[in-house]
Amino acid sequence: MNNDKKIAAEEAVKEIKNGMVVGLGTGSTAYYAIHAVGALVKNGMQLLTVPTSEQTKQMSIELGIPMVDINTIDAIDVTIDGADEFTQNLELIKGGGGALLREKIVASLTKKQIIVADSSKLVGELGKFKVPVEVIPFAKGYVTQQLKTIGGIGLIRTKDGKEYVTDQGNCIIDADFGLIENPAKLDEQINQIVGVVEHGLFIGLADRVIMAKDGETISFSK
């Protein structure tokens, strides 16, 4: 499985050209992409990168990858990130690693969003993986109630016995909607709940998914 993740990530990195601004994702598959980008930099390629989490930022520092403040740029050329689930229509659930807010901001600023995954992440319909919903702490009870009104059973995410806290200081509610027949509609419904900062449905943001299976890559594009 990890070998497939590595193969998919290294295939995606071929899209990177000298002088680009590159978004660096978060998670187990993005890990391999970050290391591959580090090798490009070590070999002399000139790049600026935008990390999607403090974890990715720390990896970039350790690998000597140059970074740029996202607020000083107008666009990102290519972003390479992972997904918890994806469909052949390029609908995604992301946020299992807790970085969904920064990931969506980076994706929204990106000209070409490439998702890398192994074959276990391909589904016919989204929803086996719960939808992460990032909320301000003050609103977590209210948002949990509101998610229930649109068919979601939400649980506050915990880690090591404590409430999980995102890089932005928020909570995450993992919401189970079952299989999601209309992800775009659910996207809109969650966005309308006061107190929601962002959620893990990524609809219309991915340009390409590179999936690796048994050492081979399969590409899904718009």
Give the per-residue pLDDT at 1: 62
Catalytic residue flag (residue 103): yes
SS3 180: coil
How is residue 54 written in tokens? 């403090």
Give the per-residue pLDDT at 219: 96
- Given a cut of 70, the residues of the chain with pLDDT beneath it are 1
Q: Which of 10, 11, 103, 198 is catalytic?
A: 103
- Distance separating alpha carbons of residues 154 and 17, to the nearest angstrom: 42
DSSP string covering 46-69, please? --EEEESSHHHHHHHHHHT--B--
Report helix, strand and coil shares of the chain as percent, to nearest 5. Answer: 35, 30, 35
For residues 74, 133, 173, 167, the Cα torsion angle rounded to the nearest 10 degrees is 0
| Longest alpha-carbon distance in the chain | 54
Q: Which fold has domain 131-198?
A: Alpha-Beta Plaits (3.30.70)
Other Cβ atoms closer than 10 A to 125 = 14
- Domain 2-122+203-221 carries which CATH code? 3.40.50.1360
Query: Do the domains spanning 2-122+203-221 and 131-198 agree at the CATH topology level?
Result: no
Give the per-residue pLDDT at 2: 74
pLDDT, tens only, 137-154:
999 999 999 999 999 999
Give the per-residue pLDDT at 74: 97
Please give the C-alpha separations between residue 101 and each of 13, 50, 168, 202, in angstroms, as whole numbers. Answer: 23, 14, 8, 11
Give the per-residue pLDDT at 138: 98
- Distance separating alpha carbons of residues 131 and 25, to the nearest angstrom: 18
Which residue, among 207, 220, 161, 150, has the nearest Cα to 199 in the 3D structure?
A: 150
Domain ranges of the chain: 2-122+203-221, 131-198
Give the per-residue pLDDT at 222: 83
Other Cβ atoms closer than 10 A to 216 = 10
Give the per-residue pLDDT at 159: 94
Other Cβ atoms closer than 10 A to 78 = 21
Residue with tokens 């998670």: 27
